[in-house]
Amino acid sequence: MKVFYLTPQRTPEGTYPQFIEPVEIPDPDRLPIEALRPADVWVLDLTHPAWATSVLRNLRTFTDPEVYLRPLFGFPKDADFPDFWATLLDGSTDLGALPALTAQAEKIMDRIRRLEPLQEEHFEIQVLIRLLRYLYTRDQRLQPIRDPSRSTGYTYPFLVLHFQPTDEHRIFDIVDLGEREGLLQGRFVDRFHLCPDCYSAFLNFRETCPACSSADLKREDLVHHFVCAHVAPESDFLQGDELICPKCHRQLRHIGVDYDRPSVLYTCRTCGHEFQNPMVRARCFQCGAQHLVENLIEKVAKEYDITSKGRNAALSGFTLTLGSLFHIEGVVDYATFKTFLRHEIERVRRSQRPSTLAYFEFTNFEELYLSIGDRRTRVFEEIARVIRENIRGSDVLSYLNERTLLFLYPETPVEGAQVALQRITQFIHQLVRDNFQNFQPLLKTNAIPIDPQGTVESHLEQLFKT
């Protein structure tokens, strides 16, 4: 096994074990990638942390999976290296102990070789797949890291490297997308808040005046004198050290017997407002804006495991649903589709002109996808073309999951929609029959008329029932 030792300056010959070849990298922003490729494993010199973190960043964000996924160990084992960066290494080791890590490195290299070229063009999805691949090649769990040097407080080191400092919060969109698509399985770690203006987690929470937002509050107990039922702030009762009731002039002697303190009163020193329930507001250290807690962005930091579907996506470089896969113009997301459907039901109720709701499911789509290899691009382009040809500009198309498309055909009777659906299924059967003898596509379709009395839910239920 070939091991390269990446170091800012070469030390005299002979200080390295035989199987280690030192590579001098004076400028971390100009990595000699081609010179590094021949190695199976890289070992990074951690004795110059600033240099080492720059190299680490540049390697782990490199486009080529052979580079950004390459096994990378740190040296020396006990180096003082920030946690954030340490999670991007496959471990720290002493050079002498390196051979023991060979198996681990072999496994990673083996998995890298099985990866297919990346299909996605969309930046977020690319980053998601890079993450899936990183986790897959290492059988790793994605852990949120608390890092006071990051504006979001919690961060995912591998992900955050791909974003500008002002965009770091987008890492949470990436993992959310992964979880939504069933590629990642999240587990709660913590809940935290971000400034809605600048996404900073550095917030100062304090009780403020509901009237003027000032944090300059005086807190005082209310006193209840039992015998005369007088209730007032403690200061009304205080005469020197004694508590004297301003209503009945008796002295208050024993808490619980002749008086108590049933609640608390706040007075705003800025505007004089008196109140019992201060509002907790957060001031952002970053941008200075002040917000009510309920207006902050609430995020959940989770740790994520890659799912089997996620592993498939890592291998294939392919994540998303049929809809986005086919790059069909005007595909709307499921929530929007339901809104369209609701309006359509209302429209039918008024106009009495028939409309149709339909779906198309390619049940064993994943099987096809995994079995067709190189020809997949062409096949999918063909399928996309026939779907495009069979919808009009006024039709609404959405996807329920990666194998189910939903169609809304305004002012079209069921028969019309069925013709369109039939054309699509016939074409797919034809296409598959011509190309893959051993594959039997399982296609399901159904079309129902829009019922002016029904709800969105009842329509969808009806649609999938038959």
Sites of contact with other proteins (CB under 8 A)? 222, 224, 226-232, 247-248, 256-258, 260-263, 274-277
Nearer CB in complex with other proteins: 227/370: 227
**Among positions 212, 264, 280, 370, the unique one binding Zn ion when judged by CB under 5 A:** 212
Q: Taking CB within 5 to 8 Å according to partner kind, which of other proteins, Zn ion, none is near residue 222?
A: other proteins
Exposed e or buried b per residue across 315-353, where buried means at least 16 C-beta atoms within 10 angstroms of its C-beta? bbbbbbbbbbbbebeebbeeeebbebbeebbebbeeeee
Q: Please give the Cα distance from 310 to 227 (Å, whole number).
A: 71
Give least dist CB 245 to other proteins, A: 9
**Using the rule CB under 5 A, is 225 a contact of Zn ion?**
yes
Residues binding Zn ion: number (CB under 5 A):
22
Nearer CB in complex with other proteins: 248/419: 248
Closest CA to 22 of 41, 48, 47, 3: 3
**Using the rule CB under 5 A, is 338 a contact of Zn ion?**
no
What one-letter code names the amino acid at 51?
Answer: W
Give least dist CB 124 to other proteins, A: 36
Q: Going residue by residue from 369 to 408, which x/- string records binding to Zn ion, judged by CB under 5 A? A: ----------------------------------------
Give least dist CB 197 to other proteins, A: 23
- How far lies 346's CA from each of 322, 352, 371, in Å? 29, 10, 44
Give least dist CB 291 to other proteins, A: 16
**Using the rule CB under 5 A, is 296 a contact of Zn ion?**
no
**Among positions 195, 243, 301, 313, the unique one binding Zn ion when judged by CB under 5 A:** 195
Burial (0-12, 13-18, 19+ Cβ within 10 Å), 172: buried
Q: Please give the Cα distance from 249 to 137 (Å, whole number).
A: 80
Q: Going residue by residue from 258 to 277, which x/- string records binding to Zn ion, judged by CB under 5 A? A: ----------x-xx-x----
Nearer CB in complex with Zn ion: 263/438: 263
Give least dist CB 350 to other proteins, A: 33
Closest CA to 366 of 429, 307, 421, 322: 322
Nearer CB in complex with other proteins: 114/261: 261
Q: Taking CB within 5 to 8 Å according to partner kind, which of Zn ion, other proteins, none is near residue 212?
A: Zn ion
Residue with tokens 């250290």: 285
* Chain residues that interact with Zn ion, rule: CB under 5 A: 195, 197-198, 200, 209, 211-212, 214, 225, 228, 230, 245, 247-248, 268, 270-271, 273, 284, 286-287, 289
